[in-house]
A and B are shown apart, each in its own frame.
Chain A
Amino acid sequence: MAATKRLLQRGNCSVSLIDDPSGPSHSDAIRSINFGPSGKFLASAGDDKLVKIWETSSWHCIRTVSADKRVSAVAISHSGQYVAFADKFGVVWLVGLDEDDAKQTKVDKKAVPILGHYCSIITRLEFSPDERFIASANRDFKIRITVFPKQPLKGAHEIQSFCLGHKDFVSCFAFACPPGCAHGFLFSGSGDSTVRLWDFISGLLLATCEVGAKVGLLQYNGTEDGYPPVTDLCVSSDGSIIAVAIQSLHGIVLLSCGFSDRTLSVAKVVTLEDNYFPTSMVLSFSKQRLWMVMGASNLPTLSTTQLPTRIRVMSGFHKDPSDYNGHDPITLEDNEIPGGKKLLSELQGSSDVTMEEAALAAAVKSSMRNMLIKKEYALERREMRKRNRNDRKRR
């Protein structure tokens, strides 16, 4: 995730987020962003231990919350009342958003811890659409579904279920509620190269799609054969469009899901040009377009203002996923994207990619690996780091 703070507004031009000059600004890699209901708010958080909440009508930062540890995931509840974020130790914190905050910026209203995955990095955090549950996925193959209580600031102690079945870290997940279904379902993607469908109320695994295997992406990883991890997935709210980004595939995989007969299968593989590996995707509100970003942060050689990113847009999705045979989703050319080349140059830094695309792809891979694998430090550095620990007494 790049630390650039530029965004697309409905008017097809890019917008810079306006920060409060008196408070702290994002200064390090942003690990997670999430929109609130109807796009009214945006939350961003990352390695600088700040969670910032922006109001999208004016793009002003309305709240900054400081965290004790680096933040790995953030989510806004559907009522827009709460922002939840997860730190690198696996604790999920909650802070309430008051209406008054729109008028003032306040730093340091303390967040409260509401639940935790014991010593495990949380990779994704989301509220269920009806806000009854909060779901958190971690590096240790688990997805935990917790009841989100009426007074959540006292803690979310009641675990509804665990969705267990993945054989590697869970990288992404999304809720979907197809018409006619009571509760909705959960889709998840993982380092084990599968996408799974769950009944999150019971934690039951309903279907598994071995995306890496189906798409034929077997690769030799140095010591063993394996399929590449799923890096992101994007699901429309009714579950009709399921887009999956998987490392090593220069494109995306579209899945189709039969909710009633519990099947999940590859419907179509859409390839883009060589060396374009999407790291992050989002479906536009009207489901007309899929926006894909490929970017890498934490590269030691580049300054933070010059982070390489590349954006592509895909269009032409159909309501009926089985109807892909005649009409492929097409990738838009740069000048066909709403906003055109001008937008791209603002968002990417330039309309030409600043780095060789292959090098960018390699950078993305190592960036992802760095995020999820425990760092090994040399002995002297470890001792130095111990001196700076800031563990507070906490129950």
Chain B
Amino acid sequence: MSSNADTAQAKSRSGRLPRKRFYRARAHSNPLSDSHFPIPIGPADFDYCHHYPYFFAPGSGGRSDGDAPPRKVRFADIGCGFGGLLVGLSPLFPDTLMLGMELRDKVTEYVKERILALRASNPGHYENISVVRTNSMKYLPNYFEKGQLSKMFFLFPDPHFKEKNHRRRVISLQLLDEYAYALEVGGIIYTITDVEELGDWMRSCLEDHPLFGAVPEEELELDPVVKLLSSATEEGQKVARNGGQTFRAVYRRIKLEEE
């Protein structure tokens, strides 16, 4: 097993993209199970040097202006899958750190290798994206401080059709409390799905939550990120190929209105 990992690493370093065939995994993963992967105790323990060496290499001083505060992750892709959105966003915001969070082990490995390969074949690029294997429904506050994020993405989440499994949905009134905590006031949450029922569910959760307000259509037209929602990921491309419809809900984190 370790020799496989070494050869994979070597291939990525040379710039060869990993092949999905070797990283197949089931589409579903149980967010309720107690998985055993390392979690940072708090946001201060998140290993920036490991994920973004270009910006945090020892000696480079964070590659930011001398007195500026250290960079933090600002975009989070929850359930990033094979990394399509991160790869699409990276060149649009080259100075913004982005983190993908994925529950499935093999898929996270794939994304890691993909990023390494892209960095090797495009020096100086794709240094602002990284991925971590974690259960974001339980451990989001371990990674992000209050108001740290400016964008959060939930692209084609698992619909969990059965009513008894609705509690496993990644958007719910309860979990929106935590997403509102991690997002700065004015930060934006982007959701998209091809399942109409899930689209209605997510929209009504966001609508009912006092800390989120809808982003008007005019603003969405001007947002470069919005186009990527349906085109950047494998899932999105599959939906487009099959001529399916997508259901989008984009909301802004607002301050609680005084009663």
Residue of A nearest to B210 (CB): A157
Q: Is B71 an interface residue (CB 8 A)?
A: no
Complex Cα spacing A167 to B10, Å: 35
Residue of B nearest to A167 (CB): B41
In residues 55-103 of chain A, which contact B (Cβ within 8 Å)? 89, 91
Contact A374 B34, beta carbon cutoff 8 Å: yes
Q: Is B211 an interface residue (CB 8 A)?
A: yes
Could you say which of A115, A154, A167, A391 contacts B167, with CB atoms under 8 Å apart? A391
Contact A164 B41, beta carbon cutoff 8 Å: yes
Binds A, one of B58-66, B112-120, B172-180: B172-180
Give every chain B residue within 8 A of A394 (Cβ-Cβ): 166-167
Binds A, one of B78-86, B201-209, B228-236: B201-209
Known: A159-B177, A159-B181. A118 touches B137 (CB 8 A): yes
Contact A158 B180, beta carbon cutoff 8 Å: yes
Q: Is B27 an interface residue (CB 8 A)?
A: no
Interface residues of A, count at CB 8 A: 33
Q: Is A150 an interface residue (CB 8 A)?
A: yes
Complex Cα spacing A115 to B178, Å: 10
Q: Is B42 an interface residue (CB 8 A)?
A: yes
Contact B173 A395, beta carbon cutoff 8 Å: yes
Q: Is B26 an interface residue (CB 8 A)?
A: no
Contact B211 A165, beta carbon cutoff 8 Å: no
Residue of B nearest to A389 (CB): B164
Q: What sequence of 0s and 1s flags, for each residue 122-149 of chain B, a beta carbon within 8 Å of any chain A beta carbon? A: 0000000000000001110110001000
Q: Is A393 an interface residue (CB 8 A)?
A: yes
Could you say which of B31, B34, B166, B178 contacts A159, with CB atoms under 8 Å apart? B178
Q: What sequence of 0s and 1s flags, for each residue 126-166 of chain A, a beta carbon within 8 Å of any chain B beta carbon? A: 00000000000000111010100111001101110110110
Grouping DSSP codes into helix (H, G, I), strand (E, B) and loop, the A interface class, with mixed when no group exceeds half, is loop
Minimum distance in angstroms from A30 CB to a CB of chain B: 26
Q: Is B217 an interface residue (CB 8 A)?
A: no
Known: A118-B137, A120-B138, A374-B34. A161 touches B259 (CB 8 A): no
Residue of A nearest to B165 (CB): A391
Residue of A nearest to B256 (CB): A158
Give every chain A residue within 8 A of B32 (Cβ-Cβ): 119
- Output the residue of A144, A158, A394, A395 with the most chain B CB within 10 A: A395
Q: What sequence of 0s and 1s flags, for each residue 198-230 of chain B, a beta carbon within 8 Å of any chain A beta carbon? A: 000100110011110000000000000000000
4 A-B pairs closest in CB distance: A116-B174, A164-B42, A391-B164, A159-B181
List residues of chain B with CB under 8 Å of any chain A CB.
31-32, 34, 41-43, 137-139, 141-142, 146, 163-164, 166-167, 172-178, 180-181, 201, 204-205, 208-211, 256, 259
List residues of chain A with CB under 8 Å of any chain B CB.
89, 91, 113, 115-116, 118-120, 140-142, 144, 146, 149-151, 154-155, 157-159, 161-162, 164-165, 167, 203, 374, 389, 391, 393-395
Q: A118-B175, A151-B259, A158-B211 are in contact. List 6 more A-B contacts (CB 8 A).
A: A118-B138, A119-B31, A119-B138, A146-B177, A391-B164, A395-B208
